[in-house]
Amino acid sequence: MKITHIILLLVIAVAIGVIISTSGDASKYVTFDEAQELAVDSPDEKVHVVGKLKKNNFGDIEGMNYNPGVDPNYFEFVITDNKNREERVVYLSPKPQDFEKSEQIVIIGGFKGKTFKADKILMKCPSKYENKKLTTSL
């Protein structure tokens, strides 16, 4: 066998290994019920939960707790998943900018006991997706 064939086989083997290892780390989109069930079987598995912030009739967010003067790395809030289950979420990092403006939220993490601990927060802000008319005056 030529040396080029051996190198080519090694490159292919490494590529297959990388693909298999990254596909095993992919997390799933689930509801809070499914996330809680998964936490029992595999507590370290990360999941994505899609939901909306809990708001009152005036559009104000309910259940949000963030006091940067006391602890800037503790942020707590309530979201409702697609099956209307409300759950308190703890995020051990600063509150994301424009969090209050977000229309929909994806939290990545898992249940630790009875609390959902988020490792990441992804937000969909309506201002980014609205069609706005630009007017100019001459």
pLDDT in tens, 23-33: 655 567 888 98
CA atoms lying within 13 Å on the CB side of residue 82? 10
Closest by CA position to 96, among listed 130, 70, 62, 124: 124
Closest by CA position to 111, among listed 35, 30, 25: 35
**Domains contained in the chain, CATH given:** 28-128 (2.40.50.140)
pLDDT in tens, 79-117: 999 899 999 999 999 999 888 888 789 999 999 888 899
Q: What is the mean pLDDT of residues 52-62?
A: 85
